Amino acid sequence: MGTISNGAKATLDLPAVPARRERLKDTPAPRAKRVVLAAPRGYCAGVDRAVIAVEKALRNFGEPVYVRKQIVHNIHVVSTLERQGAIFVDDVTEVPEGAHVVFSAHGVSPAVVQGAADRNLQAIDATCPLVTKVHREATRFSRDDYQILLIGHAGHEEVEGTMGHAPERTILVNGPEDVPFVEVDDVERLVWLSQTTLSVDETMETVRLLRERFPTLQDPPSDDICYATQNRQVAIKKVAEEAELVIVVGSANSSNTVRLVDVALENGAKAAYRVDYASEIKQEWLDGVSTIGVTSGASVPEVLVQEVLTDLADAGFADVSTVVTAEEDLMFSLPKELRTDAAGNPDERGLGGRVRKLDWQSGTP
Ligand code: SF4
């Protein structure tokens, strides 16, 4: 991880963009070749808001703007913002006193907020409001003396942030395999919450097993797995029913992206691969395949999907149809520090954000 010394920029280590491979070849397939594109896919409202927050912080406050952790889990988005002047750091202690720092969409614990305040940082919180909702639930249940069984992945930034809101009262449950080992204080005051980007089916299985052990386990007040994660899983399930191969665009550390690969494999796809870029598609994946499903994680700009479609067209998969399983029109207002332009005038729609069409409706974000 980068550190700051002598004014040098600190950056999160990112995998290198893979070299472009030869163009894909058009090879014979048993039936007509086609692509089935999932919708919804790509950017969700929380990612859109977080990315605009960094862009706008750079515009309003000028460089440097620091960002704690990857603003969203996508290598292309992070490296693009880096080129625009954002400096990604792992910890607020790496940010010079008094500087602007943006907290990522995955959220932070109160300890991180305090750490930023201790350094007089000008913090801008780009935590997705749907993650903040889970934070509030954790705080409230903890205050009411509940124990929280948090279903989520150890080490994920969102999980660390949520656990930080109720550190004494939270037990992390990674999945069904953890259930036999969970020990609780009082079965009458027990609630489960979850990370927002999990597989719905696996989470429900974990809950079923937990409830077998603790029948009085309470449900969260509303779904913690967010609308975007759920919608993208429903869409890829439908696509996977007819696709022999599914290509999911997104980064390896993007939880919702990786879940889309799992969901595709569990719902009929014979093979499913995740790629950051079209250039990672391997010729042998396409051998003997007639129908390819394509989708993307919630932090993926549509331009990367379009590149995949271009490369697949080279390989004879030029016939593209879209399976639409939901419409999305949610848009979150920007963090309060960014609701005006640099001159202090309110921005369009009073939200402070750009008006963007949903990427899968407009073609490009
Ligand atoms: S995936 Fe869901 S929780 Fe995460 S940023 Fe998007 S809307 Fe928010």
**Residues contacting residue 58 through CB under 8 Å, at least 6 positions apart:** 65, 84, 85, 86
Predicted pLDDT at 14 = 65
Under the banding of pLDDT at 50, 70 and 90, the label for residue 353 is: very low
Per-residue pLDDT reduced to its tens digit, 6-58:
334 445 666 666 777 889 999 999 999 999 999 999 999 999 999 999 999 99
Is the beta carbon of 128 within 6 A of some atom in ligand 1? yes
Atom of ligand 1 nearest to the CA of 256: 1
Asked if residue 222 belongs to a known ligand binding site, the reply is no
Averaged over 214-220, what is the pLDDT?
97
Q: Which residue out of 55, 157, 158, 244 is catalytically annotated? A: 158
Asked if residue 120 belongs to a known ligand binding site, the reply is no
Check whether 307 has a pLDDT greater than 50. Answer: yes
Check whether 228 has a pLDDT greater than 60. Answer: yes
Atom of ligand 1 nearest to the CA of 45: 7
Asked if residue 44 belongs to a known ligand binding site, the reply is yes
Under the banding of pLDDT at 50, 70 and 90, the label for residue 329 is: confident
Whether 160 is a known active-site residue: answer no
Per-residue pLDDT reduced to its tens digit, 333-347:
899 999 887 778 876
Per-residue pLDDT reduced to its tens digit, 76-111:
999 999 999 999 999 999 999 999 999 999 999 999
Predicted pLDDT at 330 = 87
Write the residue with the smallest CA distance to atom 8 of ligand 1.
46
Predicted pLDDT at 21 = 80
Q: What is the mean pLDDT of the chain?
A: 91
Write the residue with the smallest CA distance to atom 2 of ligand 1.
226
Is the beta carbon of 229 within 6 A of some atom in ligand 1? yes
All domains in the chain, ordered by first residue: 34-43+227-324 (3.40.1010.20), 45-128+330-360 (3.40.50.11270), 130-213 (3.40.1010.20)
